[in-house]
Amino acid sequence: MPARLIESLATTEPLANLFSDESVLQAMLDFEVALARAESRAGIVPKAAADAIQATAKAANFDVAALARETLRAGTPGIPLAKALTAKVRAANAEAARFVHWGATSQDVADTALVLLLKRAQPLLAADLARLDAALLRLSNHHADTVMLGRTLLQAAPPVTFGLKAAGWLAAIRRSRERTESAFAEALVLQFGGASGTLAVLGDKGLDVGRAMAEELGIGFPDAPWHAHRDRLGALVASCGLLTASLGKMARDISLLMQSEIGEVAEPGGSGRGGSSTMPQKRNPIASAVTLAAAIRVPGLVAAFLAGMVQDHERGVGGSQAEWPTVAAVIQATGVAASSMAEAAEGLEVNKARMRENIEATRGTVFAERAAFLLAQKMERGAAQQLVKDAVRRAEKQGRHLAKVLAENPKVTEALGLKALRELETPEGYLGVAEKLRKRLLAPPDKRS
């Protein structure tokens, strides 16, 4: 299903479908089916009852709007769900209805349903991040020697390579991706504790039922219920915050490089992408805008989740109730940012000529550092710095190249020689170890030289 209009810039269609009412409801029903099947395996529930529950537990059989209204009154979706499921099962098998939701509590349903949704969201995120990884790797390798201005505090600085910039984006995203994958692995665990987290209703069979449920659902089985301990989910939400921020950094750079005055890269265009409602010449950074919007929203959502982690006793008031929309919004924001940046990277146009022109437009002033350090090898460092500063001011005032202004000073020509001055403004000659750094960023940790 498509995203709701109000969320159309906040999610992708697959994630909108995943967090749709029908999908969320089915996740809760999947919990109830796994519970009945596990209890049947343990000899607590008759197999016929488990089969009847499974046959009935289809989202299409329920009135989602009614469940939503009743959830607001009950304070949890588990209560109206168990009531509705019991009624549906009773209509088909009165005896089986007695065993619906046997030994579970409402928070078990809600938490495990959320975990199941997260399990299904993980491969969606992973697919877009894999696309992005491959595209950025290609860009970095292809533009290993493409020189461009470095920019510090939004001002022109000594040159870098676009390959190094792309490698920096990729390395940060890879680090965040690894953290997120690890957090997913920890968070995808069953919630099953019953009223106070002791599974007292099930006697000495509580652990057996829990293990069987986890197996049925394909998720992990924790040491104990985690009703009031939200650290696993907190780690996942926080890691998504870091990942979205890394994606936002890439988006910020692309949008700045797309400014008309700079024009060094361009996002892919196409029908309905990047245009303006009134200005035909516009090619807007839409993927970057969507990603930056996600990066703006997510920190507040992360803070909201962390604030709700301080919960009361065995089951808290308000904290877990805040989580469903918060976690869903974080995952969808992370997903739309990953998808948008994958699209941008796969079709990014890099204008090498414009990058060179922008270096030339500085008339060599970005090589002032280079000149100062070369001179400092021949004279007192403070004097060298002042000499170059004076030359930069004259070059800017007269609209001339720094090297030519410096060549008019006998002290400079004596110290450096004309050959060094002719090569001063060659960007390829002042890249330091940029290529080695690029390769280190892209290499596996055990293969970095």
Spatial separation of the C-alpha atoms in residues 53 and 43, rounded to whole Å: 16
- Position 356 pLDDT exceeds 90: yes
pLDDT digits (tens, 9 = 90+) for 323-332: 999 999 999 9
Q: Which pLDDT score, from 0 to 100, does residue 275 have?
A: 54
The average confidence (pLDDT) of the chain is 94
Q: Which pLDDT score, from 0 to 100, does residue 1 have?
A: 64
Q: Give the whole-number percent of the chain exceeding pLDDT 70.
A: 96
pLDDT digits (tens, 9 = 90+) for 37-90: 999 999 999 999 999 999 999 999 999 999 999 999 999 999 999 999 999 999
Domains and CATH numbers, the chain: 1-104+205-216 (1.10.275.10), 106-189+226-360 (1.20.200.10), 361-447 (1.10.40)
- Contacts of residues 197-206 at CB distance under 8 Å and 24 or more positions apart, as own/partner, are 197/224, 197/225, 197/227, 197/314, 197/315, 199/103, 199/225, 201/102, 201/103, 202/39, 202/42, 202/44, 202/103, 205/42, 205/44, 206/103
- DSSP symbol at 152: E
* Average pLDDT of the residues in 295-320: 93
- Position 273 pLDDT exceeds 80: no
pLDDT band at 272 (very low <50, low <70, confident <90, very high): low
Spatial separation of the C-alpha atoms in residues 299 and 15, rounded to whole Å: 20
Residue type, 70: E
Most confident of 4-8, 276-280, 370-374: 370-374
Length of the chain in terms of residues written: 449
Element holding 349 (H helix, E strand) = strand 349-350
Please identify which residue in the block is written with the tokens 């892209």: 442
Let me know: does 304 contact 326? Beta carbons within 8 Å: yes
pLDDT digits (tens, 9 = 90+) for 207-233: 999 999 999 999 999 999 999 999 999
* Average pLDDT of the residues in 94-107: 95
- DSSP symbol at 62: S
Work out the end-to-end distance of the chain between its first and last CA atoms, rounded to an integer number of angstroms.
49
Q: Which pLDDT score, from 0 to 100, does residue 123 have?
A: 98
38: Cβ–Cβ under 8 A, 6 or more apart, which residues? 209, 210, 212, 213, 215, 216
Spatial separation of the C-alpha atoms in residues 70 and 64, rounded to whole Å: 10
Spatial separation of the C-alpha atoms in residues 332 and 324, rounded to whole Å: 12
43-52, 172-181, 258-267, 270-279: range with lowest mean pLDDT:
270-279
pLDDT digits (tens, 9 = 90+) for 334-353: 999 999 999 999 999 999 99
- Position 299 pLDDT exceeds 70: yes
CA dist list (Å): 268 to 2, 286, 287: 23, 9, 9
Spatial separation of the C-alpha atoms in residues 413 and 300, rounded to whole Å: 57
User: φ and ψ at 220, to 5 degrees?
Assistant: -75, 160
Residues annotated as catalytic (active site), given as ranges:
276, 315
Please identify which residue in the block is written with the tokens 């146009």: 349
Spatial separation of the C-alpha atoms in residues 346 and 305, rounded to whole Å: 33
